[in-house]
Amino acid sequence: MENQKTLSARAWFELVLLGLIWGASFLAIRIALDTIPAVTSVFHRVFWAALALWCLVLIQRKKVPQSPRIWAAFLVMGLLNNVIPFTLMAWGQLHVSTGLTSILNAATAVFGVLLAATFFQDERLTKRRVLGVGLGFFGVIVAIGLRNLLAFDLQSTAQLAILAGTVSYGLAAVWGRLHLAKLSPQVAAAGMLTGSAIFMFPTMLVADGPPSLYLPVETWLAIAYYALIATAGAYLLYYRVLALAGSGNLLLVTLIIPPVAILLGAFVRNEALPPNAFLGFGILAAGLLIISRSGGRD
């Protein structure tokens, strides 16, 4: 179990920057969804991000993997970390506000802790982590609202789809540690996104048909942001912050994302969240803080 690292000024800056980038991505995705279907929006996200990262890999002259085993691992990683969660969350955002989507997305850390404890002996559940996970789940229930959970209408289904996406993120973290840990971040991210694009292209053709390139300027700007900055660029920044701050402190980024998404959704799209969403986020945030500070201690 890694020891908790102290956050330097540089680590704090990059951690906050990552939170700002990912927080704004929810608004960019929602803007794109006004003019393109959900599956097509995901294809744009993974295709342009993969292209940008492969350009970087070639410029830096990184070694490209040749092993079929590694490329198979890329396909699975792309499915778990991009195809499933991106698609579920993009569809969910059609029926759930930007801010609430970002709050539910924060449950990624909670599921990640549970799944890591299931697969890795050095990620055991301590008493503090159990408390943090419990608070996290309670916060999610409060944010959604028990009545909505039991309603099974379109909005509640969309919220559950977003939560299912966070479970897929947790499984991706396990898969990545098992099969891609020895690769450079640039190559791992490029390979993963390539695997995602391979899945998304035929899925898009079946679900939405060929993509149109005649899109409004604001749609292309939104795509450019969430594909190049919030996906390709953010993956590279993520690994920098991980090296500087450690995995425990990196969980703090999940506390930065929702306030950014909520504010942008309110100012740009006039979205308003019910009081229970803010209360739920507060409880979830408390759980995430406990998890991030637990380390290997009881």
Per-residue pLDDT 10s for the chain (298 aa) are 455 556 688 888 988 999 999 999 999 999 999 999 999 999 999 999 999 999 999 999 999 999 999 999 999 999 999 999 999 999 999 999 999 999 999 888 888 888 888 888 877 888 888 898 899 889 888 888 867 666 667 888 999 999 999 999 989 988 988 888 888 889 999 999 999 999 999 999 999 999 999 999 999 999 999 999 999 999 999 888 877 777 667 778 888 899 999 999 999 999 888 888 899 899 998 988 888 776 555 5
The residue with tokens 């980038």 is: 21
Measure the CA dihedral 106/242/264/97, to 10°: -20
pTM for this one? 0.90
Tell me if 236 sits within 8 A of 186, measured CB to CB.
Answer: yes
Q: Which pLDDT tens digit goes with each residue over 229-240? A: 999 999 999 888
Q: Which pLDDT tens digit goes with each residue over 44-62? A: 999 999 999 999 999 999 9
Report the candidate in 236, 238, 240, 244 with the shortest Cα–Cα distance to residue 59. Answer: 236
The rounded distance, in Å, linking the Cα atoms of 225 and 35 is 16
Q: Residue 1's pLDDT is what?
A: 46
Tokens matching residue 7: 């956050």
Tell me if 125 sits within 8 A of 112, measured CB to CB.
Answer: no
Give the largest CA-CA distance in the chain.
57
Tell me if 104 sits within 8 A of 166, measured CB to CB.
Answer: yes
Burial class (CB in 10 A: 0-12, 13-18, 19+), 280: buried
Report the candidate in 264, 212, 279 with the shortest Cα–Cα distance to residue 26. Answer: 264
Burial class (CB in 10 A: 0-12, 13-18, 19+), 118: exposed
The residue with tokens 């906050």 is: 16
The residue with tokens 């299931």 is: 118
CA distances from 109 to 19, 61, 90 (A): 14, 33, 19
Burial class (CB in 10 A: 0-12, 13-18, 19+), 42: buried
Cα 240 to its chain centre, rounded Å, is 16
Cβ neighbours of residue 160 under 8 Å, at least 6 residues apart? none
The rounded distance, in Å, linking the Cα atoms of 136 and 161 is 18
Domain ranges of the chain: 9-294
Tokens matching residue 123: 């990620």
